[in-house]
Amino acid sequence: MKMKPLWALPLLYSASALSQERSLNLTKGVTEVSRDVYDLHMTIFYICCVIGVVVFGLMFYSMIRHRKSRGREPAKFHENVKVEILWTLIPFLILVGMAIPATSTLIAMEDTSDADVTIQVTGSQWKWHYKYFDREVEFFSRLATQQQQIDNKFDKSENYLREVDNPLVLPTGQKVRFLVTSDDVIHSWWVPDFAVKKDANPGFINEAWTRIDEPGIYRGQCAELCGKDHGFMPIVVIAKTPEDYAKWIDETEAKQIAEQKRQQELLDMEMSMDELMAMGEKIYNSTCAACHQPNGQGISGTFPALAGSPIASKPENIDKHIDIVLHGVQGSAMQAFAQQLTMQELASVITYERNAWGNDTGEMVQAADINAAMNK
Amino acid sequence: MSTVVDDHNHEAHHDHKPSGITRWLFTTNHKDIGSMYLWFSLIMFFVGGAMAMVIRAELFQPGLQLVEPQFFNQMTTVHGLVMIFGAVMPAFTGLANWMVPMMIGAPDMALPRMNNWSFWILPFAFVILLSSLFMEGGGPDFGWTFYAPLSTTYSNDSTALFVFAVHIMGISSIMGAINVIVTIFNMRAPGMTYMKMPLFVWTWLITAFLLIAVMPVLAGAVTMVLTDKYFGTSFFNAAGGGDPVMFQHIFWFFGHPEVYIMILPSFGIISAIIPTFSRKKLFGYSSMVYATASIAILSFLVWAHHMFTTGMPVFAELFFMYCTMLIAVPTGVKVFNWVATMWRGAISFEVPMLFALAFVILFTIGGFSGVMLAMTPVDFQYHDTYFVVAHFHYVLVTGAIFSVMAASYYWLPKWTGHMYDTTLARLHFWCSLISVNVLFFPMHFAGLAGMPRRIPDYAVQFADINQITSIGGFAFGLSQLIFLWLVIKCARGGEKAAAKPWDGAEGLEWTVPSPAPYHTFETPPKVE
Amino acid sequence: MSDKRANNSKIVKRLLLTVAGMFAFGFALVPLYNVFCEVTGFNGRTNNEPAAVSQHEVDKSRTVRVQFITRTAQGIPWKFEPEIKEVRVHPGEVRVVNFLAANPTPDDMVAQAIPSIAPAEASLYLNKVECFCFNQQPLAAGNDAKMPMQFYIDPDIPAHITTFTLSYTLYDMTANATPEALALLESTE
């Protein structure tokens, strides 16, 4: 990373301070609230600058003009009630002046009524979970940056540490209400472009709202120390026009409902040990015994024995066993059976192989396990 | 038995200090104890500083290069605890011990043996805290603010050591505060009315009352964390009917006055130094006293400005916003009074004055970011970002720490009898001034640009800012070695210092020789 | 000299008393906070004991949307859903909604539901006559349950509250089960 020389800092500030990319200033954001917040920020900042210039100006003036080395006698005054009252009252009035716009912005920010869309936001170590209250859509949103980038083995992407696998999708122009909570410790959901930051407290829900003006991608981060990966649970919101959003939510809901149905079917396919062994023996004898022999002994030198084989009889090798049956063994006669048998059949024959001929692992493989292995 | 006491022999016997380690272990002398506090604070400053170097080294570039995130969190946590309870507070206590008795014409603190205990339990507490870093699972990693349930259900067993250490530090502070109050109430020389006391004595008196009021609340908070973790209570556990936000209320009820505890003595120091080097009395002495008292009282009413994002109702947010903004008024009065003290004075720029002037300017900058933070709707964007880190480091480093350095340069001649090496001191000042701003000023921008606090790695748009910050950090750390060397050198020798090396100085401490004799004001002076 | 010492002791005693008082105050903040929250509704917690059944007139002129969300915290493996996600009620009207819970694990478990309301202000106006959240809920291994919640909204709920959300977070309390909950578990076996 090339280092900018110190003198460039003021240039940096003036040139890009008020622009959004590589900014040194608060973002103006994409909501009315965020713009009000930005304006308030700049107002207070300018007032502080003016006060600073006056006070420091007086100080520097005094340091120069009232130096002893100029051969001056020090004055004797050390109180003046009028002046003191003035410089108590004037700051007080300035503060009152600041408080008025701050109060009205705050009251507007805390009004969550009449929302169009409600999102449940749940923080946990170390990811976010989003659930659309009115629809059957929910998902986890995790950091998508590769570990190798963090470990400095790969170059860092443009959105390093600010990208997720499943961003939150929201409509523009509609009031979105967030219900924020946590499953474990305190987290905080923060998207600077919305000026929304709300703590996620375990056991309690907090509310926040926003109305996004422009479509785009908006990134934020967790803003409360929550353990070791506090810096690694970003937030990404994709704002779409209401039409695009409606399309997205319909599609996603349909996908999720279909997925839920499939999961349910898989679970419904659960079999007992007896059922697995019965079906497994049938499949084995019709599909596998040709090579591995009905007694599991195989043919020495050509087809390996399954009876007493480490792969079929040791618990630590169950994944390898599943993998071989599903995907075959390259360069050998062992085929991939993933497409040839149903998930239930695959589950049962592997169970049979792990329990027959004295292998006796006691383990059961279910259709859901095959499904998981296939989708790894 | 002769009733005539040979005064000379009596004095000589008194001045015979025990030597070696027993002197320091058993001393009840306020000067000895003051020196021990100051040395302890300096050592802890370097310990905490080393942790800051680890933090800045990891944050020098994006990516995880040097440390794991868990260890990084331990560094940020213990850095905060060490700096607050090991560096800043003991430094002020050391200055109080050395200077308050002399400033009021008292021979020592009111409770000298308790004074010894107040000091010696501190190294004990820090050995416990620092050794917890070497436990299996590491040390405390939940931030110095130890919010629940991160510090209760989700912390490792170093939490028990952390709680124990904090209890001991609290007891030390409370005992010190009691000592200061009794000393100031009961041992002022005749004629030293309250409104004649130097402002350093006033600010420490008020600070001591703050300590008495809030350190016990910290003890309560830390005990509740212990019982929630180990004894099945549910103060902060929603499952058992508790509320994690309640922790924050209890903690910050202590925490906010605590930060004023860490700055009020500074105000006293600056109020001693600026008049001396402007050769002009402090402007508006009584308002300075009232302003300090108002700040102290107001400090009890603002705690929830640390909690604006926790889901407080609007009414509460407004209340705390208004009260927080209000504190700016008496604080501003103090700054204006310092400038008015300088105004039309005859100013010279010895190193104590350089640090004092830097304090006024830079602390005020920290005050500005404080006013910005007070505005609740905008605080939603600043909270838990580097903007807050910039704010509190300005008020604590260029504020409190610079005032301690100013005080050290101001009073080193009195403590050691030697002038410090002025070339080295000026070098220390300028190196520190430049590097501290390179270190902390860019943090404002990092926070505004969206960088959260307490993260070991960050998005690439924050890289340049962090690199500049880290370079400032390394430079600042190195610059403090100049100070260490200078203090050691001054203690060992140097140009002999007069009783009053600063011609504009006022106060009883300048009426005794330099170095101050082991016992001073055994007979109280007369004060007009 | 001893006069000073006596005076010292007086101040020291007073200060030590203050210290003890502030330590007690720190702990007193706990019930103080709870009372404050109960009175103002500030932290969105609802009543822990059954409210009396409404004697109020039902205010048919307005409806309030009450939303229900559930969360299983810290990985408790139960299923926990509201039977219906949202109801519209008139203030004063008594309603019952059910929550479905299921324990798919091979162990008996006990859970506690913790309620929270947003906006917090609404908690002052929600009266729960009967709620599964008042007590720990046991569920034997593999069992499920339909847990009712009976409530009414105070008719003087302010006009600006048109919607509020009631959330229940479920926590595993098997290790800290009350005797009543354990007894209930036994009786189902």
Question: Could you read off the pLDDT of B112-125 as tens digits, one per residue?
Answer: 999 999 999 999 99
pLDDT range class, residue A236, cuts 50, 70, 90:
very high
How many C-beta atoms surround the C-beta of residue C183 within 10 A? 11
For residue A293, pLDDT beyond 50: yes
Is B260 known to be catalytic?
Answer: yes
Percent of chain B's residues with pLDDT above 70: 97
Is B132 known to be catalytic?
Answer: no
Q: Residues with Cβ < 8 Å from C50, sequence gap 6 or more?
A: C128, C129, C130, C131, C134
pLDDT range class, residue C4, cuts 50, 70, 90:
low
As a whole number of angstroms, the distance between CA A364 and CA A321 comes to 13
Average pLDDT, chain A: 90
Q: Search chain A and give the residue with CA nearest B364.
A: A52
How high is the pLDDT of residue B19?
79
How high is the pLDDT of residue A22?
62
Domain A267-374 superfamily per CATH: Cytochrome c-like domain (1.10.760.10)
Is B153 known to be catalytic?
Answer: no
How high is the pLDDT of residue A18?
40
Residue B45 Cα distances to B71, B84, B140, B488, B525, angstroms: 20, 9, 19, 16, 37
Residue B125 burial by Cβ neighbours in a 10 Å radius (0-12, 13-18, 19+) = buried
Instruction: For residue C54, give how far its alpha carbon lies from the nearest alpha carbon of chain A (Å).
Output: 26
Q: Search chain B and give the residue with CA nearest C114.
A: B239
Asked if C85 reaches chain A (Cβ–Cβ under 8 Å), the answer is yes
Asked if C112 reaches chain B (Cβ–Cβ under 8 Å), the answer is yes
Do the chains contact at A204 and C75, CB–CB below 8 Å? no
Q: Search chain A and give the residue with CA nearest B283.
A: A78
For residue B215, pLDDT beyond 70: yes
How far, rounded to the nearest angstrom, does the alpha carbon of residue B409 sit from its chain's CA centroid?
17
H or E, element range at B205: helix B199-230
How high is the pLDDT of residue A1?
38
Percent of chain B's residues with pLDDT above 90: 95
Domain A117-264 superfamily per CATH: Cupredoxins -  blue copper proteins (2.60.40.420)
Residue A115: list chain C partners with CB under 8 A. 163
Residue listed under structure tokens 């060397």: B485
Could you tell me which of B352, B36, B371, B8 has the C-alpha nearest to residue B176?
Answer: B36
Instruction: For residue A138, give how far its alpha carbon lies from the nearest alpha carbon of chain B (Å).
Output: 24
As a whole number of angstroms, the distance between CA C116 and CA A204 comes to 5
Asked if C75 reaches chain A (Cβ–Cβ under 8 Å), the answer is yes
Catalytic residue among B32, B58, B228, B258: B258
Question: In 3-state terms, what secondary structure has residue C80?
Answer: strand
Could you tell me which of A38, A230, A240 has the C-alpha nearest to residue A127?
Answer: A230
- Identify which of C26, C48, C169 has the shortest CB distance to residue B250: C26
**Interfacial B residues in 240-279 facing C (CB < 8 Å):** 240-241, 243, 245-246, 249-250, 253-254
Residue B243: list chain C partners with CB under 8 A. 33, 37, 43, 45
Residue B75: list chain A partners with CB under 8 A. none
Domain boundaries, chain A: 20-66+77-109, 117-264, 267-374
Instruction: For residue A64, give how far its alpha carbon lies from the nearest alpha carbon of chain C (Å).
Output: 48
HEC profile of A261-329? HHHHHHHHCCCCHHHHHHHHHHHHHHHHHHHHCCCCCCECCCECCCCCCHHHHCHHHHHHHHHHHHHCC
Mean pLDDT of A54-78: 93
As a whole number of angstroms, the distance between CA C68 and CA C87 comes to 9
- Identify which of C7, C8, C26 has the shortest CB distance to residue B216: C26
- Identify which of B245, B347, B467 has the shortest CB distance to residue A67: B347
Residue B353 Cα distances to B263, B336, B418, C104, angstroms: 18, 17, 18, 73
> Per residue in C66-109, pLDDT tens?
999 999 887 687 889 999 999 999 999 999 999 999 987 778 88
Do the chains contact at B346 and A73, CB–CB below 8 Å? yes
Instruction: For residue C3, give how far its alpha carbon lies from the nearest alpha carbon of chain B (Å).
Output: 10
Is B305 known to be catalytic?
Answer: yes
Asked if C69 reaches chain A (Cβ–Cβ under 8 Å), the answer is yes
The whole-model pTM stands at: 0.88
Question: In 3-state terms, what secondary structure has residue A133?
Answer: coil
Q: Residues with Cβ < 8 Å from B4, sequence gap 6 or more?
A: none
Is B271 known to be catalytic?
Answer: yes
- Subunits close to A (at least 3 CB pairs below 8 A): B, C
Q: Which CATH topology does A20-66+77-109 take?
A: Helix Hairpins (1.10.287)
Is B258 known to be catalytic?
Answer: yes
Residue B228: list chain C partners with CB under 8 A. none
Do the chains contact at A120 and C160, CB–CB below 8 Å? no
Residue A348 Cα distances to A42, A70, A296, B133, C123, angstroms: 69, 100, 16, 52, 54
From 2.60.120.590, 2.60.370.10, 3.30.450.20, 3.30.930.10, which CATH number describes the C64-188 domain?
2.60.370.10
For residue B96, pLDDT beyond 90: yes
Do the chains contact at A205 and C161, CB–CB below 8 Å? no
Common-topology check for domains A20-66+77-109 and A117-264: no
Average pLDDT, chain B: 95
- Identify which of A73, A125, A201 has the shortest CB distance to residue B310: A201
Residue A78: list chain B partners with CB under 8 A. 280-285, 341
Asked if C16 reaches chain B (Cβ–Cβ under 8 Å), the answer is yes
B183-200: b or e for each residue (b if 16 or more CB lie within 10 Å)?
Answer: bbbbbbbeebeeeebbbb
How high is the pLDDT of residue A341?
86
Residue A105: list chain B partners with CB under 8 A. 377
Interface of A with C (CB under 8 A): 112-115, 118, 120, 122, 131, 133-134, 179, 181, 183-184, 202-207
| Beta bridge partners of residue C72, listed in sequence order | C170
- Identify which of B212, B214, B311 has the shortest CB distance to residue C15: B212
Asked if C17 reaches chain B (Cβ–Cβ under 8 Å), the answer is no
How high is the pLDDT of residue C183?
86
How far, rounded to the nearest angstrom, does the alpha carbon of residue A352 sit from its chain's CA centroid?
42
Domain boundaries, chain C: 1-40, 64-188
> Per residue in A262-279, pLDDT tens?
877 877 878 899 999 999
**Interfacial B residues in 303-332 facing C (CB < 8 Å):** 311-313, 316
Residue listed under structure tokens 């697995």: A276
pLDDT range class, residue A19, cuts 50, 70, 90:
very low
Is B173 known to be catalytic?
Answer: yes
Instruction: For residue C28, give how far its alpha carbon lies from the nearest alpha carbon of chain A (Å).
Output: 23
Asked if C182 reaches chain A (Cβ–Cβ under 8 Å), the answer is no
> Highest mean pLDDT range out of A112-116, C44-48, C120-124?
C120-124
As a whole number of angstroms, the distance between CA A21 and CA A27 comes to 10
> Per residue in C131-188, pLDDT tens?
999 999 999 888 889 999 999 999 989 998 999 999 999 998 888 888 888 888 877 6
**Contact (CB, 8 A) for B273 and B359:** no
The secondary structure of residue A335, as a DSSP letter, is -
Instruction: For residue A144, give how far its alpha carbon lies from the nearest alpha carbon of chain B (Å).
Output: 13
For residue B13, pLDDT beyond 70: no
For residue C5, pLDDT beyond 80: no
- A:B CB pairs within 8 Å: 295
Instruction: For residue A285, give how far its alpha carbon lies from the nearest alpha carbon of chain C (Å).
Output: 34
Asked if C163 reaches chain A (Cβ–Cβ under 8 Å), the answer is yes
Do the chains contact at B448 and A162, CB–CB below 8 Å? no
**Interfacial C residues in 128-147 facing A (CB < 8 Å):** none
For residue A155, pLDDT beyond 80: yes
Do the chains contact at A224 and B147, CB–CB below 8 Å? yes
- Identify which of A183, A202, A205 has the shortest CB distance to residue C44: A205
- Identify which of B150, B339, B381 has the shortest CB distance to residue A226: B150
Is B108 known to be catalytic?
Answer: yes
HEC profile of C17-65? HHHHHHHHHHHHHHHHHHHHHHHHCCCCCCCCCCCCCCCCCCCCCCCEE
Asked if C161 reaches chain B (Cβ–Cβ under 8 Å), the answer is no
> Per residue in B184-200, pLDDT tens?
999 999 999 999 999 99
H or E, element range at B415: helix B402-416
For residue A340, pLDDT beyond 60: yes
How high is the pLDDT of residue A15?
44
For residue A350, pLDDT beyond 90: yes
Residue B125 Cα distances to A115, B119, B122, B177, C50, angstroms: 53, 10, 5, 18, 49
Catalytic residue among B331, B376, B469, B514: B331
How high is the pLDDT of residue B12?
44
Residue A132 φ/ψ, nearest 5 degrees: -85, 115
As a whole number of angstroms, the distance between CA B203 and CA B290 comes to 10
- Identify which of B186, B311, B316 has the shortest CB distance to residue C7: B186
- A:C CB pairs within 8 Å: 56
